[in-house]
Each structure stands twice: as structure tokens, then as C-alpha cells.
Amino acid sequence: MRNAPTILHLDMDAFFAQAEQASKPSLRGKAVVVGGLGPRGVVATASYEARVFGVHSAMPMAQARRLAPNAAYLTPRFAFYRSISDQVMGLLRSLSPLVEPLSLDEAFVDLEAGEAAWDSGSARLAGVRLRADISAVTGLTGSVGLAGSKMLAKIASEQAKPDGLVLIEPGTERALLGPMPVRTLPGVGPATGDHLRRAGITTVDEIVEAGEDELVRLLGKAHGHGLYAMALARDDRPVVAEREAKSVSVEDTYDVDIHDRVRVELEVQRLADRCVRRLRGAGLSGRTIVLKVRRYDFSTLTRSETLRGPTDDPAVVREAAGRLLDAVDTTGGVRLLGVGVSGLADFTQEDLFAQVAEARAEGVEEEVPDEPVREDAVPDGHQWRPGHDVRHAVLGHGWVQGSGLGRVTVRFETPQSEVGRVRTFRIDDPDLEPADPLPLVRRRPEEVPTTHGAVGDADEAVADVAGEVGDAGPAGGVPAGRPGTVR
């Protein structure tokens, strides 16, 4: 635990949904749900307007539609989100060399390591500038938590949501944590929470009162000791710049169960190739091939095979995945397939290539393209997916509102335009084609801000946000004046 709140946690607000609202003027201020739209799809992100109706991440999409039937339902554009995430992570790395990304929209930053902060005042200023820079560069908002530990910085950013900043003063952590529910602490999920509730423990203060021995009895040695330390606000975990990947994997869930064994085999081969593309893109190889199969009755089987050494050869991975599939009964149907590689290394074992020497000699080996395949690319035949970008030869840029019965409906608007008009076309209209997303913010190169000193409009944004810090607001968080917390 540090004596200054120099650990920062950034969490972009409803990231996927916010990015869609920013790129589509007609959706701003409206309920937006992003995720898989098929019968078995789940919600990836819901805008705050959709959350009012009870929609939340990981909810089945069918349930979300019942709760919010009038929301806009869009399929994800992961390449687009990734490009925005790269901009945000670049801003974080300008603050410190120690940035620990947790996902596309979330990261820890050690401000002290980058000499960007050393006390409460400088930490708060760094957080204010960061929020302003994110807004200037991406047009989006993020919530910032500042504290002396990673656990408390994350709790602070949750309190700050949406679009706020919360700083927890060192020395006030115990008083702040005490009345909070046990689910606030990392590692306390639904099962652990229910177990503690049955023992009469519902708040962090009650964890401390129960004592370490009781927690060990209830939860086991490792979990009990760890949870008790967190309840006392003890967390010395450092911010780690590079989080070592343990595995690389891909999987697909199918709207309709696959019963045809040949089709299952082809899907496994395709997934193996996708997995190798990701592996090579990360400059890695692996020696353990993993196959995941979820059958019609929701039973999930995982099979693995460890090779003599690490590989990034697509033929080797395909063959191993095929051998694993041979041992799995798929007669009743398959609803999910996945292929992964673990036991990662940054080199390959040359003798593994002997396994495909015969195929090479016959000239039938398939090479994996060097260019990564876009996950949200529209395949041949143009599957017009809701939310994806299109361009019309006459009407310009737009996005797909929906398609069916041989028709596709498009709204023509851009991030900088007014709400656009809607037109319907045949799905094979020669003037309509898929397009790349447009940037959310247009700016001249000299206007690009940095977290060490924003320029132009970003300076005004810093001043505006600085005026908000210390004021209570509807975004959540703790009002100014409460001991130990700055809003």
C-alpha cells in the first residue's frame, strides 16, 4: 500500500456501446446493445440508457430484447474498437512506462514510475488531464480511479462511473471499504458471496469482524488469507507492464447445432488456422493444442495434446486438432467449437516440421497469410450486419440498420454529420459495398494532445473537467467533503 494515490485505474464507459453512439448520431442518447444477435447471442456491452431497463453484459440477447425491445441491437466491430483502444493505451503510456492493460477498455497505470504524480494533488491533475486527452483524441469518456493500491483504484473507478474521477486518500481506505458489500472485493463472485452470506457475512466490516481463521475455515487457506488482507485494504500487487499470455485461442458458437460430422471437421480446421494467425501475429508458438467442444446438451469437453516442442505451423495445429476431434462423439450435435494453443514460447522447434514433410513434398501445404484477417470483415456475398459500415456510390457513407427478405436498410450519416436519412436497397445492389469505419474525431496533427500538456481545445477540456472535480454529480462516486475521497 502506497502513501500517495499514484496508481490509476481507467475504465472506458460502456466502451463498445459508447463508440457506436459516437459514430452514429441517430443513436446518441438512446438505448444501444452490442453483442451476438443470433438465438444464442449474449450482450457484450449495453449503453447506460439500456441499463435503465435492466440490460447488462453477459445477459442472453433474447432476454435483453424482452427487457428493451426498442433498443438498437448491433453486432460488434472489433477492429474499430481495437483502433480506439490503441489510441487510449498510447495516452496511458505517455504517462508512465508501467501500463497494465486488462482489456481493450481497461488498464492500470503506475503514475509514480513515470514521474507523472507523487502526491494527491499531482495524481488528481494527471487524472483530469488524462480524461480530457481521451475526450479530445477519441471523442469518448472514461472513468478514472486513483488510490494507493490496484484494488482500491479499481473500486474508485467503479464509483466514478460514468465519466467521473474519484481519488481515495491514503489513510481512509478502511473507513471507505467497511460498509461496502463483500462482492466489492476482487475474487468474491456469486458463489463466494452466497457462501459468506449464509455465514452471516455481507459487508467488508463483517469480514474483518469474523477474523482470518474463520475465513480460512469457510473458504480455504489461500482464498481466506487473501480475502482477509483485502478487507484490511492490504494490496501490494505492482502494476505489471507486460502480462504474459498463457494461451491463444479462438472459438465460435453456432446459431444452429451442427450435426454433420464433415462440417464439424471443417470448422475445427478453420478454427485451427485462425488460432495460428493470432499466434503468429503475437510472435509466439506453443506446444499444447487444445480442442473445446460444447455439445447439444450443454456438456463441454476439453481435449489436449502436447507436442515435442513449440510450433506455429498451421498444418501441425490442424492435424493435432483433428486427432483430438477423432476422440469426441458429436453425434447429437455441436453448439460451440474452439481451438487453442498453450505452453507458449517465442521460438519454434524445427524438428516438428518433419510431421508435415510428406505434405510439403507433395506441394499441398497451405500457408497462413501474413496479413491478419479482420474479425468483423464482411465475407463474400455481403452479410449485411446491423451496425456495420457501408458506402453507397451516390449517397456516401452509412451503416446497416437491418436486413432481411432480400433487402438491406441503411442510415446515411457520419460521426460529424446530423442525424441521417434512411434508405432501403436490394442486398445485391451494385452501388452498395462494405466500408471501413470513419474516425470519431477529426483534428489537425498539431491539435493532438498528450497527457503531459494538452493543447488547443484539450486545454479548455482540462479546465472544464478540473472544475468538476470536487463537485457531487449524478454520475455516481462520493461527493466532496466525505473523508478520504475526492470527486
Annotate 189-223 with DSSP letters as a single string.
-HHHHHHHHHTT--BHHHHHHH-HHHHHHHH-HHH
Burial 283-296 (b: 16+ CB within 10 A, else e): ebbbbbbbbbbbbe
Name residues whose C-beta falls within 8 Å of residue 150's C-beta, 6 or more positions apart in sequence. 7, 9, 108, 235, 237, 239
Intra-chain end-to-end CA distance of the chain, in Å? 21
Instruction: Report whether 35 contacts 203 (CB < 8 A).
Output: no
Query: Is 468 one of the catalytic residues?
Result: no
**Which of 323, 309, 307 minimizes the C-alpha distance to 268?**
323
Q: What is the dihedral of CA 341, 34, 77, 19, to 10 degrees?
A: -120
Contacts 24+ apart (CB under 8 A), 181-184: 182/206, 182/207, 184/155
Residue 439 DSSP SS3 = coil
C-alpha 243/C-alpha 399 separation (Å) is 36
Instruction: Report whether 392 contacts 410 (CB < 8 A).
Output: yes
Handedness of CA 154, 160, 162, 163 (dihedral sign): negative
Burial zone of 271 (CB within 10 Å; 0-12 exposed, 13-18 middle, 19+ buried): buried
Sheet holding 389-392, edge to edge: 421-426, 407-412, 396-404, 389-392, 432-434
Query: Quick check: bond before 179 cis, omega within 30?
Result: no
Which 8-state DSSP code applies to residue 246? -
Rounded to the nearest 5°, which phi and psi values hold at 214? -65, -40
Which 8-state DSSP code applies to residue 356? G
Instruction: Report whether 312 contacts 367 (CB < 8 A).
Output: no
Sheet holding 485-486, edge to edge: 99-103, 106-110, 7-12, 142-147, 165-168, 485-486
How many residues comprise the chain? 487
Among the options 20, 106, 112, 319, which is catalytic?
106
As annotated, the active-site residues are 106
